[in-house]
Structure 1
Amino acid sequence: MGIPRPIGGALFAVVSAILLTTAACGGTEPAASPAAGASAVDSHCVTSYDAETDYFPVKQTLTHATNFTLTYAKNYQVVTVKQPAPGAKPETYVLVRCGTPAPEPTGELAGAVVVETPIESLYSASTTHLPFITELGVLDRLGGVASAGFITSPQVRERVAAGAVTEYASGQEVDTEKVIGARPDVLMTQGTEDKAYGVLRQAGIAVVANAEWLETTALGRAEWIKLMAALTGTEARADEVFGKIESDYAALSVKARAATPVTVLPGQMYQGQWSMPNGGSYVGGLIKDAGGTYPWAGTPGSGSTTLDLEAVLAGAKDAKVWLAQVNEWTTLADVKKSDARYAEFTAYLTGEVWSANKAMGPGGGNDFWERGVARPDLVLGDLVAILHPGLAPGHESTFYQKLTG
């Protein structure tokens, strides 16, 4: 099954493959975030511009993310999203420190979208942005979400209930009049193009692409927190948060990769087909980093290969562990009810079927698809504990749960 991505009022099935997105996992938590309603930076504009002053004392660098670039001048940053949506041309944004002059829109900056930063209001098209906002302590900047139904974050849901955050696409169609009337500093996309975005751009709304889902590694996806930090002026906080995630992920991977690999079966069927992650996908990378392997780990490419159930049974019938991602599965009986042929897998017969549906929100949203993007260390922690329990005694799972008999 394709990876569902929460947008609008439903889960949008995107092209990669299957189970593990970036959820969250086994390391320790990063340092406590600032209070949800408190901004982590002074957002006042510069009142006395000095051309010789460097207005970005903390400069971010990208180590894992490859779908956007970030460079600095003294009073502005240049962000280029290489693929804002599948097949789309690159988009460039000039993030100008408020109160300082924007550069001339010539050369590489011709046609770039200019955004004054730090922004004070953000409309978000995807629940995957929300963990970045809360980790950076700038939840007070969030003014709108496409749809609140699938949000799992209690902090965000509280603000929606209080009327501090509004829905602007509750019927899966953007209410352009509502957005234009609110005039947010930025509307951040979900990594796909929408016909409404053209209308918003013409009305002067800065539409900034977030296409983290096109990254090929879990850490690459999580590093998009630095784009949110560039917009909100929270670079120091982002370095702290991501640095802890990165180091915890690396420490877990070193331990797990030293163990004997465990053969796993990733995913499940969707509408009669099984999207098997290729070896170069972020899913394949997570499995490898967790000390696992699967019969299609050598398949090149970062996407997925579509298989029928017979082909999966032929290649992975004897896999020791089945890692699924089905919200509705809580028992082995649910699995068999979905398709009786599932009972032929060894992992089903031995009861080693796990699904990333432990952390569900009241509206049916799954935190695996929300917080997971920001916390691949926690996803990896769950996977290491499942595949190599001896390496993680006493581990409390964040996203995965074992299906009961």
Structure 2
Amino acid sequence: MRVRAASPKVLVSLVAAGVVLTACSTATTAPEMDTTADGCITDFDATVDYFPDKSEIVDAENFSITYENSYQVLTVEEPFPGGSPESYVLVKCGAPAPELSAELADAQQITVPISSLYSGSTTHLPLVTELDVLDVLTGVSNGSMVSDTAVVDRIAAGDVTEYASGGTIDTEAVVVAAPDVVMTGGMDDPAYTQLREAGIGVVANAEWLESSPLGRAEWIKVMAALTGTQARAEEVYDGIRSDYLEVADKAAGAEPAPALLGGMSQGTWYMSSGGSYMGRLFSDAGATWPWQDVTSTGSLPLDFEAVIAESSDAPTWLVVNSWTSIGDALADDERYGELAAVGTGQVWNANKALGPGGGNDYYERGVLRPDLVLSDLVAILHPELLPDHKFTFYQQLPA
């Protein structure tokens, strides 16, 4: 769903005699709104638009944001695989609780900007750092997987706590800590119902269900809606989008480069389809591979023989795993020695930037920064296009 910022004319819903009436009203923006330094309203005026900076969603399809004068409605279309849409009413601090339409009657109401956030995925961490609101982060599910040194330091200092280090949410500890919002990692968990019943906001972040790299990156605007940093989010995202499209345009003019993608895991080779998130990145980087025309959004489970038959002669092999050398690959499966890329030494792994606990920054910052991922891929496949490129996530594996 694509949503544009609300126009100056907004729909005002009035509840009278149990009937919802809709009329047009012109919102006015006060030259100087009565707010505190942190943006909270001190003298509420129902005619004032308290959201002068509004996000416009251009690439993401799994969330939308609409605006009323004193609150936003954030809707996540699929909060987890197969889940029904969830809406959250984000009320400007200092404003009274709004009268809501019937479809929003059961929606969580969350006061914004929030001051404390528990993050269910490392992909959320670059959002708060890029928006300059790192102090909002007070909890992470598993600190050992964090790559960002600033977050690691906050965990070590006790400013950020772990609440699901064993993979299970410590519901009691979260309730005692009472963060403003627990942001999910795009999966369901019975603990979320308990947390909502305890009065804690639970907001789904399902960016991983977006099939496009830019769609995933645009979820920075969800964090902006919670933290009151819409203007900063627009600036960050516009820069990422511009850089991504510029690099993709360079690659589009080059001869497509054959590549071997992925690798074996527990006896199955998982291959990117052309319609998947990674497939979009590889295509935009000017790669070509036998399963590029498959439009499904998930990875394709294949056997080794099928991959060898179709793609063993590809001169470049792109993987994301724990290997630090080609020797590691051969130790995992000696049949990898049949691949042309192993013979030429053109095996590239997106594990260049690891955190102190082994977390891979490719999975953390790479989601927000597909422009950097794409630049790495183009520099590998078409080095003549980016001759002075400094790699962020990928590294060539030694023998």
Fold shared by both chains (TM-score > 0.5): yes
2:58 partner amino acid = T
- What are the equivalent positions in structure 2 for 1:2-401 lying under 5 Å apart? 42-327=37-322, 329-401=323-395
Contact 1:331/1:403 (CA < 8 Å) preserved in 2?
Answer: yes
Identity across the alignment (%): 57
Cα distance in 2 between the residues matched to 1:338 and 1:224: 36
Alpha-carbon displacement from aligned partner over 1:1-37 (angstroms, at most 9, x marks no partner): xxxxxxxxxxxxxxxxxxxxxxxxxxxxxxxxxxxxx
1:302 Cα deviation from its structure 2 partner? 1.0
Q: Deviations over 1:281-308 (max 9, x none)?
A: 1111101111111110001211121101
| Contact kept in structure 2, 1:105 and 1:111, CA below 8 Å | no
**How far 1:44 sits from its partner (Å)?**
4.1
1:101 CA drift (Å): 2.3
Kindly state the Cα deviation for residue 393 of structure 1 after the two structures are TM-superposed.
Answer: 0.9
Greater Cα shift, 305-314 or 221-230: 305-314
Q: Distance in 2 between matches of 1:102 and 1:235?
A: 22
Deviation at 1:43, TM superposition (A): 2.4
* 3-state DSSP of counterpart to 1:187: strand
Higher relative contact order (CA 8 A, sep 6+): 1
Superposed displacement of residue 105, structure 1: 3.4
> What is the aligned-residue RMSD (CA, Å)?
1.1
3-state SS of 1:372 partner: coil
Structure 1 runs of 4+ with >6 Å offset: none
- Which letter maps to 1:147? N
SS at 1:254 equivalent: helix
Q: Are the aligned partners of 1:174 and 1:196 in contact in 2 as well (CA < 8 Å)?
A: yes
Partner of 1:35: none
Q: Of the two, which has the highest radius of gyration?
A: 2
SS at match of 1:255: helix
> Within 2, Cα distance between the matches of 1:42 and 1:94?
23
The equivalent of 1:22 in structure 2 is none
Asked whether the equivalents of residues 76 and 102 of structure 1 are also in contact (C-alpha less than 8 Å), the reply is no
- Looking at structure 2, the residues matched to 107 and 301 of structure 1 have their Cα atoms a distance apart, in angstroms, of 37
**SS across alignment from 2:139:** strand
Paired residue type of 1:198: T
Measure how far apart 1:314 and its partner are: 1.0
Q: CA deviation digits over 1:46-88, x for unaligned, max 9?
A: 0101111111111101111101111111111111101101111
Q: What is the identity, as a one-letter code, of the residue corresponding to 2:376?
A: D
Cα distance in structure 1, aligned partners of 2:208 and 2:284: 19
| Partner Cα distance (2:99, 2:44) in 1 | 17
Give the letter for the 1:393 counterpart.
P
Q: Which amino acid aligns with 1:397?
A: F
Check whether the contact 1:67–1:211 (CA below 8 A) recurs between aligned residues.
Answer: yes
Write the distance in 2 (CA, Å) between the matches of 1:223 and 1:42.
27
Matched letter for residue 399 of structure 1: F
Q: 1:104 Cα deviation (Å)?
A: 2.2
What CA distance in whole angstroms lies between the structure 1 residues aligned with 2:306 and 2:65? 43
Task: Name the aligned partner's letter for residue 133 of structure 1.
Answer: V
- The CA distance in 1 between the partners of 2:52 and 2:189, in whole Å, is 36
Kept in 1, the 8 Å contact 2:274–2:283? The answer is no
Q: CA–CA distance in 2 between the matches of 1:399 and 1:75?
A: 41
Q: Does the 8 Å contact 1:290/1:384 carry over to 2?
A: yes
Report what 2:11 is aligned to: none
| TM superposition score normalised by structure 2 | 0.90
Q: Contact between 1:222 and 1:373, CA under 8 Å: does it hold in 2?
A: yes
Following superposition, the deviation at residue 134 of structure 1 comes to 0.3
| CA–CA separation in structure 2 for the residues paired with 1:387 and 1:325 | 16
Task: Please give the secondary structure, in 2, of the residue aligned with 1:305.
Answer: strand
Q: Count matched residues.
A: 364
1:225 and 1:154 map into 2 onto residues whose CA distance is: 20
Q: Alignment partner of 1:323: what SS?
A: strand
1:102 CA displacement:
2.8
Q: 1:302 is paired with a residue of what secondary structure?
A: coil
Q: Which residue of 2 aligns with 1:9?
A: none
CA distance in 1, matches of 2:99, 2:315: 59
Paired AA for residue 365 in structure 1: G
